[in-house]
Structure 1
Amino acid sequence: MTTTTRRRAERLLPTLALALLAALPARAFDLALPGTARLAAERITDPGSYEVPVAPWTEMEGLVTQSIEGRIQRQAWRIDATGLTDLQIIAPLRAQLEEAGWSILLDCAARACGGFDFRFATEVMKGPAMYVDLSAYRFLSARNPEGDYLTLLVSHSPATGFVQVIRASTSPSAGTNDEDVGEEDSNAIADDAEPPVLSSSTPDLIRTLEAQGHAVLLDLAFASGAETLAPGKIASLDALADYLNADPARRVLFVGHTDATGTSAANVEISRSRAQAARGYLLEKGIPAGQMEADGAGYLAPLASNLSDEGRRENRRVEVVLLPAVE
């Protein structure tokens, strides 16, 4: 190689190096979670789609989202034996994002996000890998300069912190990948699949409850404005009694719902009373009070139109939600 040729090559090296770096895929941004965090479930869909919440839920607009298509990675993390609050968990994660150049789109706590309605309008991985306390959670969505999105959903049970991380990349991928990985979610159904409506007559009630995290108990019938259960045995509650009795660590939440007749405040009270009626049935069966909670959503989560008698009957219901086991 002549001296002239060598000098030309040396001048070209920086340009070639920059070109090679540009051709390499961007390194994925890694969040540093607390040291006790462990991955409970993971799902990667490539290509897939995800609706990124960018504003709180409102009655006028519902949940405003940005639709993203590309590689979607969903993770649920558990932080065991934590005394950290939701804010203490999410604050350092938010700081990491901002330091890395991400723009925060939405950062809110439970009620400011839209409470019950936001929780059930946005995507949440199934229990027991992920758990959300309806009255205590925090949510954050962010976007980086390359156009990728990341969302965080943080909540906790008495002994465990839960962090859901969803990454949505619009960058082109080399192939197709659709897999589930996780200690507690290896048989998970696609998160964007429509969950089956579960009735009390379904033979595998408990199995479906554990897989989906919640179930509608359709054999609990209520007249409009009524708060008490009809007398007699109730198959779904009897099955739940056996389930809870078999393991004292198991816990459930009953959530009552109403039709749209009357005021919001009155319906919340009625729905809570319906949930408490289901809980009371199990208390009479000898199930410890600590294994069950009860709350009401009023008419905020209808299953059908309230314009027909049939729809109103369907909306008057109680759902059971599986809570994390006591550890």
Structure 2
Amino acid sequence: MIRPISFACFLILAGAASALDLPGAASETDRREEFSSAQPFPSGAFQGTETPRIMAEGDIEQVAYKLNGTSLTSYQMIEPLRTQLEQDGFTTLYACADTECGGFDFRYLLDLLPEPAMHVDLGDFQYLLSTHADGRFVSVLSSKARDAGYLQISTVIPSDAPEVELHAPSAPDAGVMSSTSEDLIARLETRGRVVLEDLTFETGASNLGEGPFASLRRLSEYLKTHPEVRIALVGHTDTVGGLEGNTALSRKRAEAVRQRLIQSYDIAPGQLSAEGIGYLAPRTSNATEEGREKNRRVEAVIASTQ
């Protein structure tokens, strides 16, 4: 559901409230909240494993907005928000634009609400990370599509919740749910990405097994009935070996999946792209063989619905 917003986006504070006036006639498209959690924010340009990050802990709120028919650029959307944050006592930790940030690799480090609520043009986006002396963090991402603008504002507010003892999960990662535990397409549309769990590759090689693979059949059915959707196939590896070799291997595996979808399922090549990020986005620890196996995967990510 889209909720019109014509005046302000409120950031809830301890004992007070401040507001960000959004540019233009923005409409809220999606919202997600987590309490007593943690959110990593990039605080510098993409540098592989050396990319600087800040782990913000507290209550997390992510809200996406769409500005229909706006003529504002991505810079013009984000700059007034930066000014307002600084006037409210926030300090800008990092700000960058698309290729300066690191393009696709940087965007993939961000926890964004899924398409179509939050659309990101990889060649036209702006990122801002700010913090306050009281421990609050605010990140803003703006992007411009052909006929609309998009904003996501993520806030982390320190909470006084007691510490929670964590145990290694026995089920697949909750953020990227196994495609065998619930309908693959439902998960893809809800979270914007899904792991293609049933794929098999030769050890240390990019050759995709013969199959057939139920995940590819299901994904192909979805793409044929949704020709406007663009999917990025993203390969991941464990930490065995160097980053450069693993990044190349993960990209080759993603490309092998792309070619299978094109050649065996007649999917239009323009609906698919192949990327690889090596071991930079693990699902779990690489300290055990079980963990390394979970981290070796290919994900389908909704890149665009336009």
For Structure 1 versus Structure 2, the TM-score category normalised by the shorter chain is 0.7 to 0.9
Letter in 2 for 1:258: T
Aligned length: 277
Q: Which residue of 2 aligns with 1:164?
A: 152
Shift of 1:158: 5.8
Q: How does 1:1-327 map to 2 (within 5 A)?
A: 26=16, 28-35=18-25, 37-43=26-32, 51=39, 53=41, 55-56=43-44, 59=49, 63-69=53-59, 73-80=61-68, 85-109=73-97, 123-132=111-120, 137-143=125-131, 148-156=136-144, 160-168=148-156, 194-195=174-175, 197-199=177-179, 201-202=180-181, 204-284=183-263, 285-306=265-286, 308-326=288-306
Residue type of the partner of 1:233?
P
**Aligned equivalents of 1:202 and 1:163: distance in 2?**
32
- Larger Rg computed on CA atoms: 1
Aligned mates of 2:299, 2:42 — CA distance in 1 = 28
Structure 2 alignment gaps of length 5 or more: 1-14, 161-172
TM-score, with length taken from structure 1: 0.69
**In 1: Cα distance, 2:242 partner to 2:132 partner:** 43
Q: Which amino acid aligns with 2:174?
A: E
Q: How far is 1:305 from its partner?
A: 4.5
State the one-letter code of the partner of 1:249.
E
| Alpha carbons 2:36, 2:57 under 8 Å: kept | no
Equivalent-residue separation in structure 1 for 2:159 and 2:18 (angstroms): 11
CA contact (8 A) 2:56 2:156 kept: no
Q: What do residues 232-259 of structure 1 show as CA deviations (whole Å, max 9, x unaligned)? A: 4221111111001012112211001123
Q: 1:171 to 1:26 in 2, by over 3 A?
A: farther
Aligned-residue offset at 1:208: 1.3
Bigger proportion of residues as helix: 1
Say what the alpha-carbon RMSD is for the aligned residues: 3.6
**TM-score, normalised via structure 2 length:** 0.73
**CA offsets, 1:202-239, max 9 Å, x none?**
45111111112111112111123311211242211111
- The residue type equivalent to 1:293 in the other structure is S
Shift of residue 110, structure 1, vs aligned partner = 5.5
**CA deviation vs aligned residue, 1:24-76 (integer Å, no higher than 9, x gap):** x75532223234x321013467x75554748337746862234345xx54310
Q: Distance in 2 between matches of 1:161 and 1:225?
A: 42
Percent identity between the two aligned chains: 36
Write the distance in 1 (CA, Å) between the matches of 2:58 and 2:101: 21
> Do the aligned partners of 1:51 and 1:66 also contact (CA within 8 Å) in 2?
yes
